Every structure is written in structure tokens, then in C-alpha cells.
Structure 1
Amino acid sequence: MNHQPRKKKSLGQHFLRDKHMISKIAGSIPAEPEDRVVEIGPGDGALTEQLVEVYPNLTAIEIDPVMVEHLQQTLPDLHIIKNDILKVDWSDVLSDNTRPVHVIGNLPYYITSQILFSLLHYRSHLETATLMMQKEVAERIVAEPKNKTYGILSVQTQLMCTPEILFDVPPQVFSPPPNVMSAVVQLRFNKPSLACSDDHLKTVVRMAFNQRRKKLSNALKRLNTELPADEFDFNLRAEALAPAMYEKLTARLEQLGTFEPGMA
């Protein structure tokens, strides 16, 4: 591409420029050529150009009108959804699809967690997501209990998919270079349905970690219920419980009728 569209600082845009890294990321998608691939935030299309050669059934979701126009000019056959990724209804986007769906994207740092939670919400429609993000966030996703980086994102992600850090991405492969190291994380949506509702799980996990220095007995007081202390150790702090225990605890609280309608 000879013409480089102007970046919008407000969108946190850092564009890939290293051809080797672009190829490495494109090659990490575990998809067949006939599968549906959805790229989040293609920007000026450096990665998109390689993807469209392999995956003709490619869809790009882009909010920046300047980038949309640029992509339309350089890749006229590309299917583009002009929308904010956080407002996209994945069930509508993928409703007519009969092939496995794989997501790929270089996520804006400032909305990474929001995009992740959106993908987790629509996980039943997806096969995998291969995502570049700030390395610090990637490490939180795969963190184990009793680790200071273990938290809300760790529990919910690990219960709803199988996450893996594939490789690091140094700042110098971007223009402009970010001030942090990045990493590519792959989420495989291969977990069975939860034994509890997503919303109730979020309620319990967020209550626990929003007061992570307190014992669970104190952190979960706002549930306004008698906690099943004979089945769980509520003297522990939030970071001590493995993801599976949060699922088990939430399911038990549901059985006890803890959650009022609309409570989340």
C-alpha cells in the first residue's frame, strides 16, 4: 500500500508494519480456508491483506470511517461491517453461518477487557479467537490462583474457554510503537456450558475481587444471604479460589435462591 491513512489517536491505533510478524499472526489461526474468519479492527489492512488470500469468507469490523474507505479502495471484495465492536451483535453477524467461526484482531488497549467479555458472551457462536493485546492483560487472562495478577478476567475467561499465550509482540513492529510489550493470546471456546448463569457468576466473582483483601465472608456480604459455610471456606480471600470453585459456589447459591430477578 502506497497511501497510508491518517491514524486517530482517540482510537488507540498502533498499526503492524513488520511483515514477518504479520505472517506469524496470520498463520496462527487454527482455521480451514472454508471457515468464517472475522477480523476486529483491521485498521489499514496490513494483516487483512494476508488473511483475505487464505480465507475468502473474511469479514472485517471497523469503526473508523477513514480506515473503512481505505479498505474499500484497496480490498474492494472485502466484507466490512462499519460499527463499533462493542455494539456488534455477534448472533446477528453469524446467524447465517454453517462453518466454524474464528476471530482475529489487534485489540485497542483501552477497550481490551470489554471486547474480551463481549466475545465470551457470544462464545457459543465461536470456535476460536486469536487476539493481540497488551502483555500485562494476556498474563492476567492465564494467571493461576494465589497470584497477584489473578482476578476477574482470569476466572471468567478460564471458565468460558481455554486461553493460551502464543508469543510476544515487541513494540518496534508497530507504527507508532506502543510503550508496552504486546502478546498474542488464543482462546479456544471448547468448554461445556457452565453449571450456573453467566450473570450470576459475574456477580459473585466481581463482588469477591472488588474487595480482594477481605475474606470472602465479608466480600460477599452484599449477597444478603446465609453463605453455605459447611461446603466452602469463606475465610479465604478471592485469589485463593480456583475458577471451578467459583462456578460451583455460584451454582450452589442459585440452588439456595440467593439471586433476585435482575440481580447481576
Structure 2
Amino acid sequence: MSKPVRAKKHLGQHFLHDETIAKKISNTLTLNGYNHVLEIGPGMGVLTKYLIHKEIDVLAMDLDTESIAYLQEEYPEDNLQIIEADFLKTELNNLFNNKPFAIIGNFPYNISTQIVFKTLEHRNSIPEFSGMFQKEVAKRICEKEGSKTYGILSVLTQAFYDAEYLFTVKPGVFNPPPKVDSGVLRLIRKDNFSLPCDEALFFKVVKTSFQQRRKTLRNSLKTFNLSEKLKEDSIFGKRPEQLSVSQFITLTQKIENDAISTHK
């Protein structure tokens, strides 16, 4: 039996020790249309042990040398590959030879939003994503328009994925316990996940809108050099949190068409 791994503060490690919750998280993946799974931050393998009993190939990725050594000793299974790497710096397309894969994990809270943004960049390869976040971050990702916590992360994620908040996890089931509740969510990529507008412009419109979320879009989007005629459109009298994802797509289309007609 290997010596337990010490949780390291600088890596944001909080090791889950509740087997029931670990099993529940491992079962959040539907395993539809893929058989490769990337687990981020496996720690001592509380989630890994349930994943490797499914008919999938698991790649466990951790930055912690101590965790890597522990996993290699404890889990010699053929369908598990363990690598020491930084997810945020890894070229994801090389991991599974361009085959689709899901992401799962009890994510380090200090990089969890960056993990989501990187997933969105690689949405063509990632049909599904599930795992544990700080509760307020998980809630924000799944939030709908009209809420004060609805923002950039909510809109960009929900443009490409159906986001569902699944359940809350209390601090006491971790070692060491975090100071906040945790939340588990699942993202399932939409059947049609290409947008009917310029996607780079869509990202820019969403980010610029929420950077001054208290202002109306007429004011926050001034840098787009909108025509006077377009600025009269009623949508520009709204604040960003009032717009649904589909309305942000419509807004992007309007700005796109305005730029084309202005430059004729």
C-alpha cells in the first residue's frame, strides 16, 4: 500500500475521500459517442478507480509528481495511462490521436474557469465534460439570463453546450476541507454547435458587453463603431445580463451585417 499523498496548497489540492460521491461523479458521464476520457487532477485516484471499471480508456493527468507515483503503484490497469503534465499547457489534440474525448475531474479551483475556456477552444473534440467546481462557479456556468451571476462564462459555455448543475458537495468530505461548498456540473455538447455568425466576433461581443455590465449595450459596445441606424435598434437599450444566448447570436449577426453595409 502506497503512502498517502499530502495535499499541496499551491496546487489547490483538496482530496475527496467520500466514495459515494466519487462514484456518483464518475457516473455523470453518459459515454455516448466516445470511449476516451481525460481526468484532470486525479490526486490519489478516488475518481480514477471508478472510471477504469468502465469500458473506456482513461488518461489521468496531474502536475503533482507525488500523485503520479502513487497512481502508478496503486492502479496498474491496462486501460489507464498516467501522465505528469499541466492541462493548461498541453496540446490536447495529440492526447488521443484526434479522437473525441470527455473531460472529468475534481478540478483545482484556482484554474477551473481556465479549464472551461480551454475546453471551449477544443469543443470540436470534446462532446462531454463533467466535474466538480467551487459551487458559485458551477452555478455561474449554468446560470440563465436575468441573473446577476450570469456572465461571460455562462454565455460562451451555453452557446456550445447544454449546461446542467447536478448536485452540491459539502466541505467535510475533503481533506483538507475547502472553505466553500462545491458543485458538480455536466456539459453535453449541442448537436449543432457551430454558430450562425462569426464565432470570433461572437466571443468579442460577449466579452466586451460584460466588461461594463451595468451599461446598456449602446454604451458598452461603442468600440465596434456601430452605425447610428443600428444603435436605434431596441436590443442596444438592454444590458448584457438581459440577453439570452440566442439573443447574443442575433446581436452578433446585426453587428456583422452593419459592418458589411457600412463598408460598402
Give the TM-score, by structure 1 length. 0.90
Instruction: Tell me by how many angstroms 1:130 deviates.
Output: 1.0
Find out whether 1:59 has 2:59 as its counterpart.
Answer: yes
CA distance in 2 between counterparts of 1:198 and 1:108 reads: 29
Seen in structure 2, the aligned counterparts of structure 1 residues 34 and 219 have a Cα distance that, compared at 3 Å, is closer
Seen in structure 2, the aligned counterparts of structure 1 residues 256 and 94 have a Cα distance that, compared at 3 Å, is farther
What corresponds to 2:139 in structure 1? 139
Instruction: Tell me by how many angstroms 1:126 deviates.
Output: 1.6
Find out whether 1:204 has 2:208 as its counterpart.
Answer: no
CA distance in 1 between counterparts of 2:90 and 2:258 reads: 35
Q: Is the 8 A contact 2:226 2:259 kept in 1?
A: no
Runs of 4+ in 1 over 4 A off after TM superposition: none
What corresponds to 1:216 in structure 2? 217
Aligned length: 256
Deviations for 1:32-62, whole angstroms, at most 9, x for unmatched residues?
6981111111111111112112244111111
Seen in structure 2, the aligned counterparts of structure 1 residues 154 and 191 have a Cα distance that, compared at 3 Å, is farther
Seen in structure 2, the aligned counterparts of structure 1 residues 2 and 66 have a Cα distance that, compared at 3 Å, is closer
Deviations for 1:81-133, whole angstroms, at most 9, x for unmatched residues?
32111112222223343xx5222111111111110011111111122111110
What corresponds to 2:240 in structure 1? 238
Q: Is the 8 A contact 1:207 1:219 kept in 2?
A: yes
CA distance in 2 between counterparts of 1:13 and 1:252 reads: 45
Find out whether 1:195 has 2:213 as its counterpart.
Answer: no
Q: Any gaps of 5 or more consecutive residues in structure 1?
A: 259-264
Instruction: Tell me by how many angstroms 1:173 deviates.
Output: 1.1
SS of the counterpart of 1:123? coil
Instruction: Please show how residues 72-87 of structure 1 align to structure 2 within 5 Å.
Output: 72-77=72-77, 78-87=80-89
Q: Which moved more, 1:163-172 or 1:219-228?
A: 219-228
Instruction: Tell me by how many angstroms 1:195 deviates.
Output: 1.7
What corresponds to 1:178 in structure 2? 178
Instruction: Please show how residues 39-54 of structure 1 align to structure 2 within 5 Å.
Output: 39-54=39-54
What corresponds to 1:248 in structure 2? 250
Q: Any gaps of 5 or more consecutive residues in structure 2?
A: none
Instruction: Tell me by how many angstroms 1:248 deviates.
Output: 1.7
Instruction: Please show how residues 148-187 of structure 1 align to structure 2 within 5 Å.
Output: 148-187=148-187
Q: Is the 8 A contact 1:38 1:60 kept in 2?
A: yes
Give the TM-score, by structure 2 length. 0.90
CA distance in 2 between counterparts of 1:69 and 1:30 reads: 30
